[in-house]
Amino acid sequence: MNVFDDTEDTDLAVKSFMRSGEICRRVREEGAKLVMIDASLLEAAEEIEELIRKAGGEPAFPCNISVNEQAAHSTPSFGDKQVFGEKDVVKLDLGAHVDGFVADTAITIDLSGENGKLVEASKTALDNAISIIHAGAQTRDIGSEIASAIESYKFKPIRNLSGHGVGEYVVHMEPSIPNYRTPHTVELKEGDVIALEPFASTGAGMIREDRRTEIFSFERPSPVRNQTARQIIEHVASDRQNLPFAERWLYKRWPEFSIKLALRELLTSNAFRGYPILKEDRGTLVSQHEHTLIVEKDSCKVIT
DSSP state string for 255-271: -HHHHHHHHHHHHHTTS
Whether the Cβ atoms of residue 145 and residue 178 lie closer than 8 Å to each other: no
In angstroms, give the least distance from the CB of 72 to Co ion. 8
In angstroms, give the least distance from the CB of 163 to Co ion. 7
Piece of the chain touching Co ion by CB under 5 A; list 101-109, 151-159, 254-262, 273-281? 101-109
- Judged by CB, which is closer to Co ion: 175, or 265? 175
- Judged by CB, which is closer to Co ion: 263, or 278? 278
Catalytic (active site) residue 290: yes
Distance of alpha carbon 41 from alpha carbon 59, whole angstroms: 17
Piece of the chain touching Co ion by CB under 5 A; list 32-40, 179-187, 192-200, 207-215? 192-200
Piece of the chain touching Co ion by CB under 5 A; list 83-91, 129-137, 186-194, 195-203? 195-203
Q: Which residues, 75 to 94, sit near Co ion by CB under 5 A?
A: none
- Judged by CB, which is closer to Co ion: 196, or 233? 196
Closest among 2, 157, 118 to 142, alpha carbons compared = 157
Of 73, 97, 164, 291, which is the active-site residue? 164
Sheet holding 89-98, edge to edge: 58-67, 89-98, 101-110
Strands 199-201 and 163-167: unpaired
In angstroms, give the least distance from the CB of 105 to Co ion. 8
E strand residue ranges, the chain: 58-67, 70-72, 89-98, 101-110, 156-157, 163-167, 170-177, 193-196, 199-201, 208-218, 245-246, 272-279, 286-288, 291-295, 300-302
Q: Tell whether residue 196 is a contact of Co ion (CB under 5 A).
A: no
Helix or strand or coil: residue 235?
helix
Of 197, 247, 265, 280, which is the active-site residue? 197
Q: Tell whether residue 195 is a contact of Co ion (CB under 5 A).
A: yes
Among 22, 46, 58, 104, binds Co ion (CB under 5 A): 104
Question: Residue 181's Cα: distance from chain center in Å?
Answer: 22
In angstroms, give the least distance from the CB of 196 to Co ion. 9
In angstroms, give the least distance from the CB of 197 to Co ion. 5
Q: Which long-range contacts (CB under 8 A, 24 or more apart) does 8-14 make?
A: 10/191, 12/99, 13/101, 13/168, 14/294
Catalytic (active site) residue 239: no
Catalytic (active site) residue 281: no
Catalytic (active site) residue 93: yes
Name the closest residue to Co ion (Cβ). 104
Q: Which residues, 197 to 256, sit near Co ion by CB under 5 A?
A: 197
Closest among 116, 112, 207, 192 to 153, alpha carbons compared = 116
Closest among 279, 217, 243 to 91, alpha carbons compared = 279
In angstroms, give the least distance from the CB of 161 to Co ion. 9
Catalytic (active site) residue 46: no
Helix or strand or coil: residue 129?
helix
Of 9, 80, 141, 172, which is the active-site residue? 172
Whether the Cβ atoms of residue 202 and residue 154 lie closer than 8 Å to each other: no
Piece of the chain touching Co ion by CB under 5 A; list 147-155, 187-195, 261-269, 280-288? 187-195
Residues binding Co ion (CB under 5 A)? 104, 195, 197
Q: Catalytic residue positions?
A: 93, 104, 164, 172, 197, 290
